[in-house]
Amino acid sequence: MCRTLAYVKERLILYKQEGREWAIKNTDIVYREIISKALSAYKLADKFVSYMHVEISSSTTIEFRLAILSDLDNIKKMYKEIVEKLLKTKM
């Protein structure tokens, strides 16, 4: 959402980190904390999924691994949707 706002307001096309930096500088101060927390949550979710991929890949059968990895991807998507909804309600 931060990158979208940067594009709408200034026609900027930004990477995720740049979008965060832009939003922190260009949005109302009351939203800066939630922007930082949301992006920290995204990073933590990515780290968690990467960790689980390594752990699962090092054990179990291939069918089980594929099923679990698919579930992890779905969990990550759901988590990001929740964060996006939280951001929308705060704005």
User: In this predicted model, what pLDDT tens digit does every residue of 10-33 receive, in sequence order?
Assistant: 999 998 878 988 998 999 888 888
Confidence label for 59 from pLDDT (cuts 50, 70 and 90): low
How high does pLDDT run on average in the chain?
A: 82
Work out the percent of the chain whose per-residue pLDDT is above 70: 93
Supply the pLDDT for residue 72: 81
Angle of helix 29-57 versus helix 16-26 axis, rounded to 10: 160
Can you list the alpha helix ranges (DSSP code H) found in 1-91?
A: 2-10, 16-26, 29-57, 62-90
Sequence letter at residue 88: K
* Angle at which helices 62-90 and 29-57 cross, to 10°: 180
